[in-house]
């Protein structure tokens, strides 16, 4: 859950690594550090808090040097403080290491190293790595690269590491297992290493994504060499980055989250591009075409995910079961991986993940694979671990999502699942041609309708002002709007720190209704559809207990308007597509409420964008 960056080349390394850490700060932001090689000296700068703290501190020192490694942390072992911040030094300060991941057997290794006379400065698991590498290098008089390779044979857990040593000033050694790592091949014989491509894109588009248990040695004389942990050399698979730098900037918005909410007409359009055509009457997720028969013949589709992606999966369940009549089970990946699920070769397991790096989702996939199931993926980050371990999959094409609270990735995930349901239903013949064509047209109209919804931003801001101090909140929805209620509640929780819960509207009478009084805002998705009347009576039940109703209704609705304290109108659309429109006002509500409460909207406390440890 940390961010790592490194550079070696002719340019001054510190500013490049510092800027890279700021780009990766969404991965973890409780402490940061950089080690710079300047001639024969390896200088270390570490500070708790944001990268800006580190910058302020380092500016008072000499940060010159042509090679540097940097880290922004999300603490797992040891409090966020200057000592536990990375990089970590060997006892003779000749080697420094940065690490993203968890060393599961660090305690055993630590005891052995202490017995060998090594002293530890920090409480981190990572520090065992630098002493282990140092120990092996000394004992067997090895190169730093070979010492790293041998050391990793003793390590259990997840890691992406970069090692710098003053005895090898023209070289950096990196390795990964489970945690992501990409190498950037510079245009001046220089090299970049990072957790993802965001720190690299402004310097080069030529990258190599490291696979599990691969080691990269970047050397100013010998270039880039890749080995596996068995010491077999691999030919680097160089890819060209598609994303543009400006996609990483705020584009004039105050926060990445607000920018990404407003990007949804385009991100949904990009997600639909080349995958649906109502004129010619087809829908196709090319990445999954070869697996559609398997999905149709499967006993069931099991979708594994976490957080917001899990909510998208729930919307998918409603659509695929209703449209394609295929049994779908949605699983929390973190539970699925440990509950010894009954899985076999007739099962198809689909992972949904924005980052493609979520540890629990990755492990759930690997478990399913080990039991012979077909494993598919729906990811946003190209080249991510999940996209590489799956048999097939498709990208959501939402573009980089920097705000920790997922917004455009959610609607893009729901868009892919909607296309999946339509494609399977059409192939299976569980939808009439006329209904199919009508829905294709409605789907193509979604981006324009989202644009309309975004125009209600100022109304939403006014409503938000009334509830910014609410201690709790309830979200209600029926059918495929129930997961939208869950998503709305999660957005409010994660960025405004208000306790909120989403419920199927009918479930309220079985308990949560006890919470309702004049201080409880109740956000209800009450758009036209099969369960409209039912939702209206749920609203009356809340009103009877003086609860405050904020209802998302279909344009022109007068009925709910009379009962609700506030209404937010969204364009009429097919019931299956309401989740794509109704989610937007809930994203904006949580954004404005968090802003009014002075919260850090893009980097909320205790969270990080991609949860790469379990
Ligand atoms: C959502 O806003 C959160 N950032 C979090 O719940 C997230 O959805 C979850 O960690 C899953 O991440 P993934 O989609 O990258 O796997």
- Beta strands 328-332 and 301-305 are parallel
Give residue 233 CA to ligand 1 midpoint distance, Å.
Answer: 35
Q: CA-to-CA distance for 590 and 184, rounded, in angstroms?
A: 37
Count of helices and strands (H, E) across the chain: 19, 27
Ligand 1 atom closest to 407 (CA): 2
Max Cα distance, the chain (Å) = 81
Cβ atoms within 10 Å, residue 308: 24
CB 343 within 8 A of CB 329: no
The reported pLDDT for the residue numbered 400 is 83
Q: Which residues contact 429 (CB under 8 A, 6 or more apart)?
A: none
The reported pLDDT for the residue numbered 248 is 65
Give residue 474 CA to ligand 1 midpoint distance, Å.
Answer: 21
The reported pLDDT for the residue numbered 247 is 65
My answer on whether omega of the bond before 87 falls inside 30° of 0, hence cis, is: yes
Ligand 1 close to Cβ of residue 358 (< 6 A): yes
Mutate to test the pocket of ligand 1, among 358, 386, 406, 586 (most ligand atoms within 8 A of CB): 406
CA distances for 592 relative to 118, 459, 467, 602, angstroms: 51, 11, 10, 12
Q: Tokens 């041998």 map to which residue?
A: 150
**Two tokens, residue 287:** 């990445």
Q: CA-to-CA distance for 132 and 118, rounded, in angstroms?
A: 9
Q: CA-to-CA distance for 319 and 300, rounded, in angstroms?
A: 14
Cβ atoms within 10 Å, residue 395: 21
The reported pLDDT for the residue numbered 74 is 81
Give the residues of the chain that fall short of pLDDT 70. 1, 245-248
Q: Tokens 């009918």 map to which residue?
A: 506
Q: Tokens 């489970």 map to which residue?
A: 178
In 210-366, the DSSP E strands lie at 214-219, 223-228, 233-234, 239-240, 276-277, 282-283, 301-305, 328-332, 348-353
How far does the chain reach from its first CA to its final CA, in angstroms? 10
Regarding pTM above 0.85, the answer is no
**Two tokens, residue 547:** 């609860």
Ligand 1 atom closest to 609 (CA): 4
The reported pLDDT for the residue numbered 246 is 63
Give residue 612 CA to ligand 1 midpoint distance, Å.
Answer: 11
**Two tokens, residue 241:** 């980055």
CB 270 within 8 A of CB 401: no
Q: Is 2 a catalytic residue?
A: yes
The reported pLDDT for the residue numbered 326 is 97
Q: CA-to-CA distance for 575 and 341, rounded, in angstroms?
A: 33
């Amino acid at each position: 859950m940390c961010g790592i960056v490194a550079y070696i080349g002719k340019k001054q390394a510190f500013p490049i690594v510092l800027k890279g850490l700021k780009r990766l700060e969404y991965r973890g932001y409780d402490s940061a550090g950089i080690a710079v090689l300047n001639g024969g000296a390896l200088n270390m700068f570490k500070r708790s808090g944001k990268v800006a703290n580190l910058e302020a501190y380092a500016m008072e020192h000499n940060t010159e040097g042509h090679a540097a490694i940097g880290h922004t942390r999300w603490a797992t072992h040891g409090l966020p403080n200057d000592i536990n911040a990375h990089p970590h030094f060997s006892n003779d300060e000749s080697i420094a290491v940065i690490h993203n991941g968890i060393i599961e057997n660090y305690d055993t290794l630590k005891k052995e190293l202490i017995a060998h006379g090594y002293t530890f400065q920090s409480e981190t698991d990572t520090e065992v790595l630098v002493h282990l590498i140092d120990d092996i290098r000394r004992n067997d008089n090895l190169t730093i690269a070979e010492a790293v390779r041998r050391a990793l044979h003793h390590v259990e857990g997840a890691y992406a590491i970069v090692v710098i040593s003053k005895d090898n000033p023209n070289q950096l050694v990196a390795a990964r297992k489970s945690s992501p790592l990409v190498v950037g091949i510079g245009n001046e014989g220089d090299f970049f290493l990072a957790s993802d491509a965001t720190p690299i894109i402004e310097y080069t588009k030529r990258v190599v994504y490291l696979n599990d248990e691969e080691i990269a040695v970047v050397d100013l004389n010998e270039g880039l060499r890749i080995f596996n942990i068995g010491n077999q050399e691999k030919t680097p698979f160089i890819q060209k980055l598609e994303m543009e730098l400006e996609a990483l900037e705020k584009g004039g918005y105050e926060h990445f989250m607000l920018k990404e909410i407003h990007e949804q007409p385009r991100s949904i359009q990009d997600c639909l591009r080349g995958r649906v055509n109502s004129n010619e009457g087809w829908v196709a997720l090319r990445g999954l075409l070869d697996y559609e028969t398997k999905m149709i013949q499967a006993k069931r589709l099991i979708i594994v995910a976490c957080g917001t992606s899990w909510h998208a999966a729930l919307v998918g369940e409603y659509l695929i079961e209703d449209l394609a009549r295929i049994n779908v089970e949605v699983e929390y990946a973190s539970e699925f991986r440990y509950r010894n699920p009954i899985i076999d070769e007739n099962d198809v397991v689909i992972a949904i993940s924005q980052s493609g790096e979520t540890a629990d989702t990755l492990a759930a996939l690997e478990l399913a694979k080990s039991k012979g199931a077909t494993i598919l993926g729906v990811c946003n980050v190209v080249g991510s671990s999940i996209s590489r371990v799956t048999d097939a999959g498709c990208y959501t094409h939402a573009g980089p999502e920097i705000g920790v609270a997922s917004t455009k990735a959610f609607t893009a995930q729901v868009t892919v699942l909607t296309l999946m349901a339509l494609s399977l239903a059409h192939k299976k013949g569980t939808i009439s041609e006329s209904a199919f064509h009508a829905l294709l047209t409605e789907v193509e109209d979604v981006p324009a309708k989202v644009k309309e919804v975004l125009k209600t931003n100022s109304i939403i801001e006014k409503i938000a002002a009334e509830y910014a101090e609410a201690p709790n909140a309830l979200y209600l929805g029926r059918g495929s709007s129930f997961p939208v209620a869950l998503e709305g509640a999660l957005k409010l929780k994660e960025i405004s720190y208000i306790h909120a819960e989403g419920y199927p509207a009918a479930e309220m009478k079985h308990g949560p209704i006890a919470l309702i009084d004049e201080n409880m805002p109740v956000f209800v998705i009450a758009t036209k559809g099969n369960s409209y009347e039912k939702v209206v009576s749920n609203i009356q039940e809340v009103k009877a207990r003086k609860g405050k109703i904020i209802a998302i209704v279909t344009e022109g609705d007068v009925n709910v308007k009379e009962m609700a304290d506030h209404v937010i109108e969204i364009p009429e659309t097919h019931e299956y597509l309401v989740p794509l429109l109704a989610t937007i006002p809930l994203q904006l509500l949580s954004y404005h409420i968090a802003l009014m409460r002075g919260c850090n909207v893009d980097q909320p406390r205790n969270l990080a964008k991609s949860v790469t440890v379990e």
